[in-house]
Amino acid sequence: MKQGQTREDGMVYMGLKRGKPYWSTREVYENTIECQRLHRENRREAFNNHPRTLKRGDVRSDGKVFLEYAVGAKNFEVWTTQDKLNAKRKSMERYNDSVCKAKKNAYQRARARRLRATCPKWKMTKNVRGRIYLAFKQFGYRKNTKTARMIGCSFDKLKRHLEDRFVDGMSWDNYGRRGWHIDHIIPLASGATLEEFEALCHYTNLQPLWAKDNLSKGDRIA
């Protein structure tokens, strides 16, 4: 049984509670899902803004060793023992050998094709990250800030921001080359300094624009 499944009497399956199926009204279910979504979004934004001063291998006063930052970890920090860190490093070394690397790359390419075709948020996220990275490279700047921090919001919020500005005919089904693009209202090329360039990456400077209009606009402010 899946969460959200509706019974004949209109009650919605919420999940297991104390080992037993728990049902509630559609309104309670939708409110619960919305609260969970907001919690994930706020958690992700806090994670993106969390200072990253630790390096893998740093030792804490209790002897624990820093492993990595993770959105689901307490204080966004994962700590472990030296033995587990060494085992992790050996595992990564084996995983990164030539044979495993080829398999990993093939898997990632297949996964990317599947997600690009089925998940609008994933496609949007990859496109925005790629566009900003290439723009930094094109204009000779070094990108030292995560994209989510640079655009000033989570990708969930960016997705809703774009949806709120859809015009008739726009949907995530026609997002792409032959449909609509994500356009910088004030073009990135207008930035004379690194600070101005980064400011133009903010989500408030992004809008959905039909592909033909975006291509004809170029680096001009429409």
Is 21's pLDDT higher than 70?
yes
Q: Side-chain half-sphere of 139: how many Cα atoms within 13 Å?
A: 19
- φ, ψ of residue 58 to 5 degrees: the values are -60, 140
Percent with pLDDT over 70 in the chain: 98
Is 205's pLDDT higher than 90?
yes
Q: What CA–CA distance (Å, rounded) separates 154 from 156?
A: 5
Residues in the chain: 222
79 pairs with which residues across the strands?
Answer: 66
Express each pLDDT in 30-39 by its tens digit: 999 889 988 9
Express each pLDDT in 97-153 by its tens digit: 767 778 888 988 999 999 988 999 999 999 999 999 998 888 888 888 888 888 998
Is 59's pLDDT higher than 90?
yes
Q: What CA–CA distance (Å, rounded) separates 15 from 162?
A: 32
Express each pLDDT in 178-197 by its tens digit: 899 999 999 988 888 888 98
**Strands (DSSP E) found in the chain:** 12-17, 20-24, 65-69, 77-80, 180-184, 206-210
Q: Given this model, what pLDDT does residue 200 score?
A: 92
What's the CA angle centered on 146, arms 144 and 150, to 5 degrees?
95
Q: Given this model, what pLDDT does residue 170 score?
A: 96
* Listed residue (69, 70, 68) closest to 88, CA to CA: 68
Q: Which residue bears the tokens 């070394």?
A: 93
